[in-house]
Structures are given as C-alpha cells and as structure tokens.
Amino acid sequence: MAYRPLADEIRPSALDDVVGQGHILGKDGLLRRIIEGGDVPNLIFYGPSGTGKTTVANIIAQRTRRPLHRLNATTAAISDIKEIMGQVGTLLAPEGVLLYLDEIQYFNKKQQQSLLEFMEDGRITLIASTTENPFFAVFGAVLSRATVFEFKQITPQEALPAVERGFSIMEQRLGAQAQCEPGVKEYIAQACGGDIRKAMNAVELLLSAAKRQQGKLLVTLSDAETVAQKSAMRYDREGDAHFDIASALMKSLRGSDPDAALHYLARLLEAGDMLTAIRRLLCSASEDVGMAYPMAVPIVKACVDNALQLGLPEARLPLAQAAVLLATAPKSNSVYLGIAAAQADIRRGRTGDIPRHLQNVHADSSGMERDQGYLYPHDFPGHWVQQQYLPDELAGTQYYHFGPNKTEQAARRYWEEIKKSKGPDQTKP
C-alpha cells in the first residue's frame, strides 16, 4: 500500500468532524447552512494554514458532486485554468467544475482576471484560499463575485482531540500501544500553533521514531519538544502575522502593559526579526511617550545601539530593557497630534507667505534693502519676546497642546509665567 501521510489520513469527510471553526461551521453557522443548502457560491477562505480550508473544500466537492480540481497559485498558470475549463460541458464535467485555488494571493492581476468570465456564468465555482488578508491580496473584481469566510486559528483545546485521534491511528499502523509521559499530547496540541497539519506531522514523526519496550512505544516529553520545536510560531516577514505581531508590540507599549510588550518582543526575536522590534521601539519613544519623558528617546536609542553591537541572542536584554522602559513610562501623544495637525493644514494648502522678519537675511543684500524687523529673543528678559512666527493666514493657530503629564505641565507653567511677566512694551530689551 502506498504511503499516506497521517495529516491526509485524518482529514475529516463530514462537517461535524472539522476541528474548530464553530463560528462558521457550527449548528447555526452561515457556511454550514450554505453547504447543506447545496447551492454553493464562489468562496474565499481566509486564515492560517492547517485550519481546515482544504478539508472544507473537499467536503463541498463531495456534496455538490462536481469534479474538484486543485491548483496552487505558486506554480499554476493561465494555461492550467484553460485546460480545466476545456472539460466543462463534456462528459467529464457536464455541470461545471469546482476549482480549489490555494494561495490565490500569488496570482497576479491578469491571472486573477482570467477567472472572472467563468465565475460569472457559473461554469466554474471558485473556492480560493489565502493566508493573507483577501481585501489586500485579492483584486476587487474577484472579491465582488465571491463571499469571504475567515478561518480562525485553532485553540489547543480544539486541537487536543485531533492529536489523540492521530495517536490512535498511528498505534494501529505500528501495531503497538503508545506509552506517553504526562503532558505529551497536551504539549503537541499547544506547540502546533493552531495548525493541525503540523500537529499530525509531529505525531507521525514522534511515534515512528519511538523506542519500543515490551511491545509498547515509549513517547517522552523531551522527544515531543524536539519534534514540535517552534511550531507555535506563526510568522512570515511578508505576511499578516508579521504586521499583527509588530502592531501588537506597539499597542502594548502604548497601553503600558510591560508583560504583553515583552511577549510580542520575544515573538519577534524568536523569529529572528530584530529590526522590526527596533523600529517599533524607536517609534514608540516619540509617538507614545514623547514629551512626558523626553529622555526615553536617547535611552531607547542607546539600548538599540547596544543590541545592534551585541547581536542575538544577547541583544534581547537591551531591547527588553527598552520595552519595559517604554511600557512603564508616562505617556503623551502631544507631539504626534501636533505634527499631524500641522501636516493636515499643509496638505489642505494652508501655508501662506513666511513673515518678512523670519526670512533669510540674504534678501536684505540683494538690492531690495528694507528693514527686516526681526526681534532676537535672547536680547530680552526670559529669552522671549512677543512676535508673529506663523504666516498671516495661520496666525493664532495652535498645533501643540501641553499634555496632562508632569513634564509638560511644568513647561506650560514656566512659559505662562515668562509671558505674563512681560510689560506692555515687549519690543525693548
């Protein structure tokens, strides 16, 4: 008998046996009702690998009794689609075909558009899967003709029954009962990262390599940790997971949660993506801490410099120090709001001429001599004098507002005192 991977052998043939996805395949799930109704539209399945997208496509094919053709967008071409469409209307596919297109995000615009004609007249029912957000990865014309369903990551609790079933199948294959150390099955369910295919691969390798003793397969936790190492890491520097983890790190820093910040920093570092972590830490120092603790900027920069000189794994220490500092520092986004408001005015065309007294003095020696009228603040008490700095069109506009933190309130009080102490004639030193 030909070898059959455990992940393929354990694949469910009924919706009730699909692991997880209760939100769309549960008793009242919309996708279940569509499938059971028999009139299946064009569908796009979006979610991490190993969450049941291909399995559900197979079940749909069985229910619709239409020939199922599989293509992977990483290797397929338009000629492959045309070859499949050549079967429509023949004895091979009298009622059309069901095309399962895996990783549709790798099809370019022309390739995706080649599907439109067949999708519209019903000759092809497209079920496309993608691990990337389809609203970015799939062209609008295809999206408008399909319904998107999101497959969510499978929890360890949901994965455990599948792991136990995988053990049972392997015991039958090998003709011996597995004797597991405590926590082995639970560890695999946890370490697979919600990917049932990875879990089954780990089970198959673990039992195939297990030592036999008195007719039993000895399965140790140490071996389980070896075969499942880093499986829980869902990471792709070009994919959604990359941006999700980076976003979660930034938001944890902003939300003043040092534990979450260290968690997401660790996930980036375990994936070897130190540069993404560095960019987020440097940005947060100015965007989220800002004027509430301006020293965060040089401190974080020093931590980053140390990390770059040390390299991984030692770099984790200064980067963790920076993350904890930012997460526990007082917060102010006054700088972010100020520059955002100023840029918004510029983009709307609100600029105006630079006041004469602020212009470069080169104009005074170009044959157009006239009094510039600039007042040098350092010549005045408190190093401040009242004069207009914004263009006339924007005079009085306020972009920066002092934040409610200790540092910015101290600066506010300082300048209020300086400006109040000025007499009516502010033009004389």
Q: Does residue 130 belong to any structural domain of this protein?
A: yes
CB 325 within 8 A of CB 299: yes
Mean pLDDT by 10 residues, the chain (429 residues): 76 85 88 85 87 87 78 84 72 69 86 80 82 83 88 87 90 88 88 83 88 87 78 52 84 92 90 88 95 95 93 91 94 93 88 83 53 80 86 88 91 87 54
- pLDDT at residue number 325: 95
- Domain-ending residue, one of 150, 167, 189: 150
- 202 and 317 in a single domain? The answer is no
Q: Does residue 94 belong to any structural domain of this protein?
A: yes
- 143 and 251 in a single domain? The answer is no
Tokens of 388: 């207009």
Number of domains in the chain: 4
- pLDDT at residue number 41: 86
- pLDDT at residue number 281: 96
Whose structure tokens read 């549960």? 26
CB 207 within 8 A of CB 170: yes
- 219 and 245 in a single domain? The answer is no
- 396 and 300 in a single domain? The answer is no
User: Which CATH number do you get for residue 82?
Assistant: 3.40.50.300
Contacts 24+ apart (CB under 8 A), 11-14: 11/54, 11/55, 11/58, 12/55, 12/59, 13/58, 13/59, 13/62, 14/59
- Domain-ending residue, one of 170, 195, 227: 227
- 133 and 25 in a single domain? The answer is yes
413 to 172, 316, 403: CA distances (angstroms): 79, 40, 12
- Domain-ending residue, one of 275, 307, 328: 328
pTM value is: 0.57
- 140 and 161 in a single domain? The answer is no
Q: Does residue 15 belong to any structural domain of this protein?
A: no
Helices (H), 128-239: 134-137, 140-143, 156-174, 184-191, 196-208, 221-227
- pLDDT at residue number 228: 75
Q: Does residue 6 belong to any structural domain of this protein?
A: no
CB 295 within 8 A of CB 250: no
Residues 6+ apart with CB under 8 A from 38: 63, 64
- pLDDT at residue number 402: 92
User: Which CATH number do you get for residue 359?
Assistant: 1.10.3710.10
Tokens of 174: 């090998």
Which structural domain range is residue 211 located in? Answer: 156-227
Distance between the two ends of the chain, CA-based, in angstroms? 99
- pLDDT at residue number 95: 65
- pLDDT at residue number 117: 75
Residues 6+ apart with CB under 8 A from 336: 286, 287, 288, 290
Amino acid at 311: G
- 84 and 128 in a single domain? The answer is yes
Q: Does residue 233 belong to any structural domain of this protein?
A: no
